[in-house]
Each structure stands twice: as structure tokens, then as C-alpha cells.
Structure 1
Amino acid sequence: MSTIFDLKIQVQPQHIDILGHVNNVMYIQWMQDVAAAHIEMLGLGLTQYLELKHAMVAVEHHVQYRKAALEGDEIILRTWLDDINALYSFRQYAFYRPKDQSVLFVGNTKWACIEIATGRPKRMSPSFTQAYQPISNELDPMDFSISYAEK
């Protein structure tokens, strides 16, 4: 079973747009960054994709920006898997600012399994379906009093 995964970051000057807050495209980049870190932790990351000759690619994102993040803010990028089938996995995200206990952003991505050589859809191998399991219903991914950061 997969688990919740946290990645702590600090907002840097290059993340800021002309309006003085984090640019919206950075949140998409952070979705990619935390997902990549999570799959590496699960033991089925980019190196394994190349060895297995198939990979997961994003096919659909839904995002909701709730509050602005500012330069210097510490943010917890949280992700978890909430569903899987033979072709798709579904990943959720919540980005949280501890200093004011604010959820800044929520989103989700539908990931499709493809054959790398052709780009065509492919059923997930057992390696994928075993590593990319949804979290337990007993876990509350929006409870930020619990840290899921790697030690």
C-alpha cells in the first residue's frame, strides 16, 4: 500500500511573478516534483521506467488555487494516490503553509501508463500496480498535524 508523501520547500525569488506571489505555473511544476519524489521513494521511479520500457504520463490535471504563496514561505507539498486501474492512476495534491495553517492549493492528476517506445497506452505491469496503491481509507491526507516527510 502506498502512503502519503510530503516534500518541504521554500519559495525562492524565481518562483515569484510580477504580482509578487508564486506564479501559477510553479504549482504545476511542484506537482511534478512531489510526484517524482514520491515514486522514487516507492521504488518505481524514472530509472525503473526505462528498465521496464513503460512509464506513467500525466493526461489530465485539475487545480484549485486557494491562497497566494510568497517569497520565503515554507510550504509542504503533499501527495498521495487515491485510485488505480489497469491503465490509470489518480494522484491528489495539497500544498500547505504551516506558519498560518493554510491550504494554498489542491489538485489532482490522472496518469496513464504508456509504452515508452511507441507512446501508446499499455496495461500497468504488476510492478506498477503493486507500488502505486491507493492510501488507506483510515488516513486523512488533509491532517497536516502529521508529517509524512522522509527522515
Structure 2
Amino acid sequence: MSNFFDLKITVKPEHIDILGHVNNVVYVAWMQDVATAHIEHLGVGLNKYLEMKHAMVAVEHHVQYRKAALEGDEIVLRTWFNDINALYSFRQYAFYRAKDQALLFVANTKWACVEIETGRPKRMSPTFIQAYQPYDGEQDPYDFSQEYFSQR
């Protein structure tokens, strides 16, 4: 099983800012979109969060914009876990343009486990720990010649 998850998207007019490229805040929304699709694929998505009464919430982002994405570009949003402990998971992102495999954006997020009702930190359940397996180092996350589970 791959450590990586890919989500394909097409840049739409509403993603473009006055400078003619994808607006920076759109990338952050895409981070959320691919993370949500990934956890759903792993079977520990939003419905499971509600059932377990705890969830993962973003507490810190680091982003780097490398190249501009333009309207009509096919973009692959790649994500993976690079570490996990009892309270936090650490997720990486690499977004690239499909046609030329140009790396457009890299980021990472620190996610904390919290009780939904109170918002207080909580130790991760075994369900999360089993599903959120960190990157094993065997594959190169920046090798864009192969796509991993993807959906559109």
C-alpha cells in the first residue's frame, strides 16, 4: 500500500486572482480538500470523527509557493503523513502540474487530536494511529512519474 494519496483537480476561473494565477489562499483550501479526501479514503473521515467524538484539527501550517498555476491547468495534489505520535499527526503536501510535472507548492501541517465537544487535546485513538501510517521512506514523494490512489 502506498503512503501517498493524490487528488486531481483542474484550475477554475474562481481560483484565479487579479494577477492571473491561482490565489495563495486557494492552495490552503486545497490542502484541506486533499487531507479530507485522504482520511475518507483511509476510512477515518469526518463521519468517523463524529462517531468517535474526537477529531484532528490543524494547528500549524508551513507553505512554500514555487511556481504559478493558471486557469485550466491540471494539478495533482499529493499528501502523506510523515510522522505521528499520541497527540499529533504531521502531514506533507506537494502539488504539481500534471503536464510537465512542475512542482508548484509544498507545505506541511501539524494536526492535533481534540475532543469535539470541548476542543481540548486528546490522545489519539488506536483507530487514528492504525490508519494514519507515516511515510516509510521507500518511495520518493517528489517522483511524479507515478500517480497513487487518486480521485477527481
**TM-score, with normalisation over the residues of structure 1?**
0.97
- The Cα offsets for residues 58-79 of structure 1, whole Å up to 9 and x where unpaired, read as 0000000000000000000000
Aligned to 2:82: 82
**Contact in 1 for aligned 2:53/2:116 (Cα 8 Å):** yes
User: What stretches of structure 1 of length at least 5 have no aligned partner?
Assistant: none
Contact kept? 1:2, 1:42, Cα under 8 Å: no
Q: State the alpha-carbon separation in 2 of the partners of residues 149 and 15 from structure 1.
A: 24
Moved more, 39-48 or 133-142: 133-142
Q: Deviations over 1:2-52 (max 9, x none)?
A: 720000000000000000000000000000000000000000000000000
Structure 2 residue runs of 5 or longer lacking an equivalent are none
Q: How does 1:2-151 map to 2 (within 5 A)?
A: 3-150=3-150
In 1, the alpha carbon distance for the partners of 2:117 and 2:77 equals: 32
2:70 maps to a residue whose letter is L
Instruction: Confirm or deny: 8 A CA contact 2:8 2:150 kept in the other structure.
Output: no
Amino acid aligned to 1:14: E
| CA positional deviation for 1:138 | 0.6
Instruction: Provide closer, same or farther for how the CA distance between residues 132 and 59 of structure 1 changes in structure 2, counting only shifts above 3 A.
Output: same
| TM-score, normalised relative to structure 2 | 0.96
RMSD: 1.2
Task: Give CA-to-partner distance per residue, 1:91-116, whole Å, 9 cap, x none.
Answer: 00000012222100000000000000
- Asked if structure 1 preserves the Cα contact closer than 8 Å seen for 2:57 and 2:112, the reply is yes
- Identity across aligned pairs (percent)? 77
Distance 1:73 1:22 in 2: 10
In 1, the alpha carbon distance for the partners of 2:120 and 2:135 equals: 28
Q: Give the number of equivalent residue pairs.
A: 151
Give distance in 2, aligned partners of 1:84 and 1:111: 9
